[in-house]
Structure 1
Amino acid sequence: MSIHEQDHVFMLERAGIKVSIDKSSLTVKVEAGDATWETVPGAASLSWGLTPTDRIGIPLSSATKKAFSTIVSGTFKGVHVKVGPFSANGIEYGVYLNLSLLLNSHNGELVFEVHEPDGEIESISEIVWPGGFRFFGGGEADYTAVPAMQGYLIPGNWREPVRRYHQGMMYGRDAYMPWWGQYQDGHGYLAIIDTPNDSRLSVEHLPSVHTHLEAVWLHSLGRFEGIRRLRVRFKKGLDYVAMAKMYRSYVHSLGKLRTLAQKQALNPKLEGLSGAAVVHTGVHTRIAPESYYYDKTDPEKNDFAVPFEERAAQLKELGRRYGDKLYVHVDGWGLNGYDNLHPDVLPPSPTGGGYEGMRKLQETCNEEGILFAIHDNYRDFYHDAASYHPDLTIKDGEGKEEFSDYWAGGAHSWLCTSLSKGYVERNYDTLKANGIEPDGVYIDVFAVIPGDECYDPSHRMSRTECLAYRASCFEEIRSRGMLISSEEPADWAVPHLDLVHHAPYALDPGPGGGPAICVPAPLFSLVYHDAIVVPWSLERGAWGIPERDLGWLHGLLNGGVPYLSIQPTDGELEIVRTVARLHGLVGFAEMTGHEYVDGNWRRQRSMFADGTVVEIDLDEDGYRIMMADGEVWTNR
């Protein structure tokens, strides 16, 4: 491998790849085999100002000074770039950025780093380095793979703009996983955000113009400490399946791929989820007048309950009719019902039957072989909770407490996650002392909301620390022999979770309903199918299901478990049995492949490690499942 400097560029070369950086524009050009990839001119930048109204974007190429020096470090050779100061609108900003561009001499991986800046750094909100690669894909065969929710592909000729939900914040619905990729003319690259906790994934698709993606590095508590790192791998034939598998190998190499088989070894209860149906039900609902959900026209609808014992009788009858594995998730069991009074939810709802009623529900589930799980929440901190105090809440950079009154319980802020585990321990010790030890616990929102920051000096918390505190809550539940679940499968949380509420597709205008954003692709399942159990709704156009599609067909394609109503029709039972039976066969197996049949996005095929092949036709509402032993299931 060689590194050399010319008048206007630095050049890095090894077999099969040549990388250059322009010393004036800071654009990076990569020649990998027959493909050439070049970063967007002016995309490398910094944002000055911590609030959106004060923010100014400054291209790094506009720096008054640029200094370059070579780096030789183990298997890496590259260039260190120091740029600064900067000026904009007649104001000079005395900050100097320390960047690096490294090429792995062993495997050709390209690494971009942002090191801690020097000078006046307190007002830097974001840094973009290196910026996205120019992509003008003009046909269906060219595309961009985006891990938003389950995932989607943006074809090069896609004629619609692409909606993003939360500016691409990492570990939210815009990016379950910290990677993306692009494929053009038979060549592709995979970009892995190696330090994802303080980042977001920016996507800009201008129809008939370009599709540009870039990692945006965010400040942490007002500072840029440590190293921010992006890894990029280039390869001929690197399509979206190969990208997902390459990322899976990366996760495995970090020791973070904990499969369901490994999790089951720690908790044998997980076997009860293999081929199960998931029943989502509730006991008590009480809606505060200020809540979005409050019914002003019929106030009686704002406070109602179905007692624990009635739910127990319904589950017993369901078990008789269904005759196979069930996992029940119970909402609204707490003192004031669903989404109320968290984290001080004990004793159980008196309207629902209190401790005695909840014990009866648990006993019935045990007798019927039904896994019994309960909903919980240790982020939403309701203002009428017994322990609520502003001193315990998350504060923003101006020392202000976050506030919402959207959910059923009304006014609430966010409990600082550094304090959450103590509440988990207290609540489950108290439940145990009263004879209640559920089989599973669902901790709401932790695995779908990006990491929080807290500026309160009494419990200051970075995003990285927040995610670690959330993980400790999950592991506290696991240590008690319970199955653990959360809302959606953000990448960081997958090793800590047994199942989630759902992991469906991104829709426009939101996941609650509408057409799919671009072309749905099971990118998440290709990485993590054998690491977590994912339930799927059955209905056409259900939450996270494209409006024209049947949810249970996507459930089959993804090898997931089905949701089941507590009082289902015979037709629903038939569908659920099919989806659950398939999961019993492939649920703990890797999804090894996926393709669009004859290039038709509405006809898809998935493959599993045991040899099972699933085909669905979303236009004809059809499926065909071919087992390794030659058995075929079909509704055609």
Structure 2
Amino acid sequence: MTIHENGSGWIVQAADRQLEIDPNTLVLTLTDTTAGRSWATVRGEDHILLRTAEGERLVRLADAAEKTFEVRRSGYYEGVYATLSGFPDADGASGAAQRRLSVRLSVLLYTHTGELVCELHPLERDAGDIVHIAWPAPFGFGGVEPGQYTVVPMMQGFLVPADWEGDLVRYEDGLLHGRDAYMPWWGQTDGEHGYTAIVDTFWDAKGRFDHAPRQHSHFGVRWLPSLGRYDDNRSVRYRFGPKMDYVEMAKIYRAYAKSIGRFRSMAEKIAENPRVDRLRGAAVVNTLIHFYAVPESDYYDPDHPEKNDERHSFALRAEQLAKLKDAYDGPVYVHLDGWGQRGYDNLHPDVLPPSPVNGGWEGMRLLRQRCEELGYLLALHDQYRDFYHDAPSYGAEQAVMDRDGNNELCTIWPGGAHHFLSASLAKGYVERNYEQLEAESVLPDGAYLDVFAVIALEEDYHPVHPMTRKQCMEHRLSCFHSIRSRGMIVSSEEPVDWAIPALDLVHHGPYARNPNPGKGPVVGIPVPLFSLVYHDAVFLPWFPGEGEWGIPPEDWGFLHGLLNAGLPCLNIEPTDAEIALARQMSELHNRVGCMEMTGHSFIDGNLRRQRAVYADGTVVEIDLDTKAYAVRYGEETADVRSPRL
């Protein structure tokens, strides 16, 4: 491996990789010398966005008046360390007390992997005036040609061909740790050669996808300050190579997730907690005890007051589950909503005692006992983020505080006005509540901690309990671990991958739609990126109807559930048709639910006909137009054209 300066820039050479760094424009060019393909970053797209009294101001990194470059090397990489300063009108943007702005970067080529690794190093000053630092600039196709596409891991995932003119979310600064990106990576291919970009330090990162049909498709990372500072390295890595389609990209990320301990298989989780094994092939029954909306809630319906107070007793649900047992002979996981003292999304975190108007402690014991008799798993829908003003434990000093010293107010959910409980304080409430449930002999088989694995990681500027985004992640994980330590199944809303080691199950992990994430036209070309990475690491239920949240509006949800070999969702009082579909999904999941999805493809290039392959050779094929599907277990084939629900 060699590095040298040739008068016009720096050249790093390693085996079949050559990296060029232009010191004037900061353009990076990576060449695969074997394939004869080069990828270059877009000139002028790396910048600092500053906050000033007059508004936001963009300063380009290449405009730094002073640039110094040094060789940086170790036993496994070589590259360049750069210091940039003297930015026009950038110093003292928030006052004379600010020290001079100096940005330090490293561009490294790894000898053993061929990866390009780009690091942003800590700033030696406060960053209260910095909105973000966008670096490195996005790589570009270098001209639009057939076969080019961008791979975006928003929700389950989608592809955007370079000439795509359909509906598309403007991926404006999407956080790389929530619904905007279940996984912190993206990729691009020209049909023959491509790259996969992985953000190591995703908690302080956003991604921006800018697509102009037949002009450009740019995806880049933007680094955020953490509690007003840049005290830690930010890092993104790129893997380049031939034949890098979206399946290969997903497998590259899967290997990366394993290498850092983020991947934890269902086999490992079952070995730790045998109760989790009872989820295999289980039908997920979502059911409600009490829905109550206060007048100031967005859910309140003044024209139909009866809809604001919907009640179903614990005894009624126990009776319905007994009847379900007679109709459906498979395993069942009961997800219980609205079981708390004033119903769904009310009074959190003070949900105990269980709904007094629907049976209280005795009613809940009855339901718990009935589930045990039926062999059903029982899990509670719970919440430790929304912090309701009328909850007995409420106190503004426990809420998340923003950089201006304010607590964000929300009134969307049925319980009305609430702030957000700092994640640093959540575990104490989790432990308090589940110790009381255990003391009352109603400890469930599992707990669903709502929104923790989908809502963006939060900063807290409160002087008593300050919290970075990374610490927020750690606090949420500690709540999941507390549930697991009690021998319970752990679940949350959606499968954001930082939570995968702690989760057994999520509510769903569907495809992105626009403008609402789960409603409206589908975004791009849906592909099961998440399943290609994590199918055997967490169980995903799928709703089998048409027009379901997150299912392309023209599609039958059952087919996507079958393709992804997911758990079936089932109504507590199902029709015969729903039962028949649940049985088919249950059989497939029972066989391959703990196996890797090894491949996905479009049959004969038809986007409406798809094939998924699993580690034991099982093949699932679907036709979204004709509603036909086939499942092949080795030599055994089940081929059915099913009626629509």
Answer whether TM exceeds 0.5 for this pair: yes
2:36 to 34, 39, 62: 34
Distance 1:260 1:180, change over 3 A: same
8 Å CA contact 1:160–1:207 kept in 2: the answer is no
1:593·1:608 contact (CA, 8 Å) conserved in 2? yes
CA distance in 2, matches of 1:457, 1:55: 27
Match of 1:55 in 2: 56
Mapped to 2, the partners of 1:469 and 1:448 lie a distance apart of 14
Alignment of 1:313-332 (within 5 A): 313-332=319-338
TM-score, scaled relative to structure 2: 0.96
Q: What pairs up with 1:7-86 in 2 under 5 angstroms?
A: 7-32=7-32, 33-49=35-51, 54-86=55-87
**Equivalent residues of 2:205, 2:221 under 8 A apart:** yes
How far apart are 1:238 and its partner, in Å?
1.0
Counterparts in 2 of 1:412 and 1:601: CA distance versus 1, 3 Å: same
Q: Deviations over 1:323-362 (max 9, x none)?
A: 1100010000001100000000100001111000001001
Q: Partners in 1 of 2:79 and 2:135 — Cα distance?
A: 15
- Aligned-pair distance for 1:125? 2.3
Aligned ranges 1:70-219 → 2 under 5 Å: 70-88=71-89, 94-119=100-125, 121-135=127-141, 138=144, 141-160=147-166, 162-164=168-170, 167-219=173-225
Q: CA deviation at 1:257?
A: 1.3
Structure 1 segments unaligned to the other structure (5+ residues): none
Aligned counterpart, 2:234: 228
Amino acid at match of 2:47: S
Task: Between 411-420 and 27-36, report the one with greater CA deviation.
Answer: 27-36
Cα distance, 1:89 vs structure 2: 8.8
Cα distance in 2 for residues equivalent to 1:359 and 1:283: 14
Distance 1:297 1:136 in 2: 57
The alpha-carbon distance between structure 1 residues 164 and 386, as it changes in their structure 2 partners (threshold 3 A), is farther
Answering whether residue 445 of structure 2 is matched by residue 443 of structure 1, we say: no
Given that residues 616 and 624 in structure 1 are in contact (C-alpha distance below 8 angstroms), is that contact kept between their aligned partners in structure 2?
yes
Does the CA-based 8 Å contact 2:167-2:514 persist in structure 1?
Answer: no
Which stretches of structure 1, 4 residues or longer, exceed 6 Å deviation after superposition? Answer: 89-93
- Per-residue CA deviation, residues 579-610 of structure 1 (Å, 9 max, x unaligned), is 11111111010000000111111111000001
Mapped to 2, the partners of 1:183 and 1:514 lie a distance apart of 28
Q: State whether residues 123 and 229 of structure 2, in contact with CA within 8 Å, keep that contact through their aligned partners in structure 1.
A: no
Aligned match for 2:607, one of 580, 595, 601: 601
Q: Decide which of 248, 268, 271 is 2:277's aligned counterpart.
A: 271
Q: 1:493 & 1:104 partners in 2: Cα distance?
A: 29
Q: Is the 8 A contact 1:103 1:111 kept in 2?
A: yes
- Of residues 407, 414, 422 in structure 2, which corresponds to 1:408? 414
Local SS of the residue matching 1:270: helix
- Structure 2 Cα separation of the partners of residues 632 and 569 of structure 1: 22
Secondary structure of 2:262's counterpart equals coil
Alignment of 1:391-540 (within 5 A): 391-540=397-546
Q: Find 1:339's aligned residue among 342, 345, 357.
A: 345
Shift of 1:461: 0.3
Q: CA offsets, 1:126-179, max 9 Å, x none?
A: 111111001256455221111000000001221136214773112211111010
SS in 1 for 2:140: coil
The one-letter amino acid of 2:10's match is F
The question of whether the paired residues in 2 share the 8 Å contact of 1:159 and 1:207 is answered with yes
Encode CA deviations 1:422-479: one digit per residue, 9 max, x unaligned. 0000000111111111001000000001111000001000000000000000000000
What is the SS of the residue equivalent to 1:246?
helix
Q: State the number of aligned residues.
A: 635
Partner deviation per Cα, 1:288-323 (whole Å, 9 max, x = no partner): 111111111021221121000000100110111011
2:309 is aligned, of 294, 303, 322, to 303
SS at match of 2:336: strand
Asked if 1:355 corresponds to 2:361, the answer is yes
Structure 2 unaligned residues grouped into runs of 5+: none
Matched with 2:395 is: 389
| RMSD over equivalenced CA pairs, Å | 1.6
Q: Which amino acid aligns with 1:35?
A: R
Q: Using the alignment, how far apart are the partners of 2:38 and 2:470 within structure 1? A: 36
**SS of corresponding position for 1:395:** coil
- How far did residue 631 of structure 1 move? 3.0
Question: What amino acid does structure 2 have at the position aligned with 1:364?
Answer: R
For residues 584-599 of structure 1, the aligned pairs below 5 Å read 584-599=590-605
Between the aligned partners of 2:511 and 2:356, the Cα distance in structure 1 is: 38
**SS in structure 1 at match of 2:78:** strand
Distance in 1, Cα, partners of 2:592 & 2:8 = 55
Q: 1:574 to 1:132 in 2, by over 3 A?
A: same
Aligned mates of 1:219, 1:139 — CA distance in 2: 37
- Conservation of the 8 A alpha-carbon contact between 1:500 and 1:535: yes
CA contact (8 A) 2:167 2:521 kept: no
TM-score, scaled relative to structure 1: 0.98
What per-residue deviation string (whole Å, max 9, x for no partner) do you get for residues 191-238 of structure 1? Answer: 000111100111111112110000111110000011100110101111
Contact 1:167 1:174 in 2 (8 A): no
**Matches of 2:527 and 2:180, distance apart in 1:** 14
Specify whether residues 625 and 12 from structure 1 end up closer, same or farther in structure 2 by C-alpha distance, changes over 3 A only: same
Q: 1:89 to 1:194 in 2, by over 3 A?
A: closer
Counterpart in the other structure of 1:575: 581
